[in-house]
């Protein structure tokens, strides 16, 4: 088969909504792009454990402690599903992690913000997981099989994350004055970073046309962001709180909420590495990996010894 025929077969497969699997021929760009995106997603899950994990020891009730620990553990699991999916494309876990530690690979910028109070935990669950869910359902239809299957699994587990976050805020919103203030303060700090999660404006995004043409991406960054705003404006009312945007206004013509301008300068700074916690996040991950080296080596050494003994006995 010529390369041309392979490309055609590949494209036909995608058009027929059949999944591409690890051993299928694929253009190098497809392979590379998938590696980048799946690993980015995996890194986001793992790094995302840190701002939330921060509050496990200080969770204000046993129930909240258990819920938070379960949620963070889920995220580790999600990272695992995704690293596994990524590995099917020909990279190793170690390489993928090295890319993260070296700064070559990115993770979602939202996790470069600090969780300063208990209310931040509920807010992260509500806004950050909320934004994630909007994207994830679409990703279950992505063309690369292992990625799509990982996403189906993740989606099933994700809904509890957003619900527990919102519920936690609901309790605060009905609590003491100090609790209500804590809740509003957290929303004030996380709202704009959450909007930035949807990425640059469509006008500044690359490759938009192509992905729309192949019906892989069903909505643009701006469309998703708008959908998110519309949803949150309604939800925040249930909390009796406000979103920190004086320009938020219902537009009768478009039937959407108009909202204020994102600080794109902040967006690019954080992506570049100058956010509040970029350094700490990466340091934490590097430290865990480096300090864990002796453990990984010991386990491998022991397995090898055991195998040798087993072989010797069998002989």
Partner 1 sequence: MKATLDYILHLADNALILGQRNAEWCGHGPVLEQDIAISNISLDLIGQARSFYQYAAELKGSGTTEDDLAYLRDERQFRNILLVEQPKGDWAFTTLRQFLFSSYQQLLFQKLTTHDDERLAAISEKTLKEVNYHVRWSSEWVIRLGDGTEESRSRILSALASIWTFTGEMFMPESFETTSGIVVTDLETAWKEKIKTSFAEANIDAPENTFMRSGGKKGIHSEHLGFILAEMQYLQRSYPGCEW
Partner 2 sequence: MKSYIRLFFYGDIPGQETGGAPAPQGPKNDWPLWEVFIRSKQGLDHKHVGSLHATDAQMAIENARDVYTRRQEGVSIWVVKSQDIHASRPEESGELYDPAADKIYRHPTFYDLPDEINHM
Residues 81-120 that bind partner 2 (CB under 8 A): 81, 84-85, 87-96, 99, 104-106, 108-110
Contacts of 282 by beta carbon, 8 Å cutoff, 6+ apart: 100, 101, 103
Residues 29-68 that bind partner 2 (CB under 8 A): 29-37, 39-41, 44
Q: Which residue in 55, 118, 126, 144 binds partner 2 (CB under 8 A)? A: 144
- Which sign does the torsion angle of CA 28, 29, 34, 36 carry? positive
Q: Which residue in 20, 38, 83, 197 binds partner 1 (CB under 8 A)? A: 83
Residues 52-81 that bind partner 1 (CB under 8 A): 53, 56-66, 69-70, 72-73, 76-77, 79-80
Q: Which residue in 272, 292, 307, 308 binds partner 1 (CB under 8 A)? A: 292
Q: How far is the CB of 203 from partner 2 (least distance, A)?
A: 12
Alpha-carbon gap, residue 166 to 125, rounded angstroms = 7
Binding partner of 168, given partner 2, partner 1, none, CB within 5-8 angstroms per partner class: partner 1
Rounded to whole angstroms, what are the CA distances from 138 to 45, 122, 240? Answer: 18, 25, 31
H or E element: which one contains 121? helix 118-123
Instruction: State which residue, 183 or 233, has the beta carbon closest to partner 1.
Output: 183
Cβ 69 vs Cβ 227: under 8 Å: no
Where in the chain does DSSP place strands (E)? 249-251, 256-258
Question: Residue 1 interacts with partner 2 (CB under 8 A)?
Answer: yes
Place of tokens 């930035």: 196
Quick one: which of 218, 168, 198 has its CA closest to 267? Answer: 198
For residue 101, how many C-alpha atoms fall within 13 Å in the half-sphere facing its CB? 14
Task: Name 258's bridge partners.
Answer: 249
Instruction: State which residue, 9 or 63, has the beta carbon closest to partner 1.
Output: 63
Task: Name 250's bridge partners.
Answer: 257
Q: How far is the CB of 189 from partner 2 (least distance, A)?
A: 18
Binding partner of 179, given partner 2, partner 1, none, CB within 5-8 angstroms per partner class: partner 1
User: What is the contact mask toward partner 1 in residues 166 to 195, using x (rule: CB under 8 A)?
Assistant: --x--xx-xxx-xx----------------
- Contact residues for partner 1, defined by CB under 8 A: 46, 49-50, 53, 56-66, 69-70, 72-73, 76-77, 79-80, 83, 118, 168, 171-172, 174-176, 178-179, 284, 287-288, 291-299, 301-302, 305
């Amino acid at each position: 088969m010529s390369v041309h025929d392979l490309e055609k077969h590949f494209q036909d497969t995608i058009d027929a909504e059949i999944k591409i699997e690890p051993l299928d021929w694929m253009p190098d760009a497809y392979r590379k792009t998938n590696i980048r995106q799946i690993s980015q997603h995996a890194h986001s899950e793992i790094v995302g454990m840190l701002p939330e994990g921060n509050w496990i020891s200080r969770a204000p009730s046993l129930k909240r402690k258990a819920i938070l620990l379960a949620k963070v553990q889920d995220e580790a699991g999600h990272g695992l599903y995704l690293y596994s999916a990524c590995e099917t494309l020909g990279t190793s876990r170690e390489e993928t992690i090295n890319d993260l530690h070296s700064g070559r690979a990115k993770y979602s910028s939202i996790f470069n913000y600090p969780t300063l109070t208990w209310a931040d935990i509920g807010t992260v669950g509500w806004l950050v997981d909320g934004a994630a869910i909007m994207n994830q359902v679409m990703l279950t239809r992505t063309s690369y099989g292992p990625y799509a299957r990982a996403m189906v699994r993740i989606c099933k587990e994700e809904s509890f994350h957003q619900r527990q976050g919102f519920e936690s805020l609901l309790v605060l919103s009905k609590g003491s004055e100090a609790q209500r203030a804590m809740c509003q303060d957290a929303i004030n700090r996380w709202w704009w970073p959450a909007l930035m999660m949807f990425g640059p404006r469509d006008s500044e995004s690359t490759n938009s046309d192509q992905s729309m043409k192949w019906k892989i991406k069903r909505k643009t960054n701006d469309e998703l962001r708008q959908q998110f705003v519309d949803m949150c404006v309604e939800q925040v009312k249930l909390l009796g709180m406000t979103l920190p945007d004086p320009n938020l206004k219902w537009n009768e013509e478009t039937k959407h909420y108009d909202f204020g301008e994102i600080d794109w300068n902040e967006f690019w700074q954080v992506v570049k590495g100058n956010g509040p916690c970029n350094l700490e996040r990466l340091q934490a991950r590097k430290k865990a990996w480096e300090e864990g080296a002796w453990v990984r080596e010991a386990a491998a050494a022991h397995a090898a010894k055991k195998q040798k003994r087993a072989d010797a006995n069998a002989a």
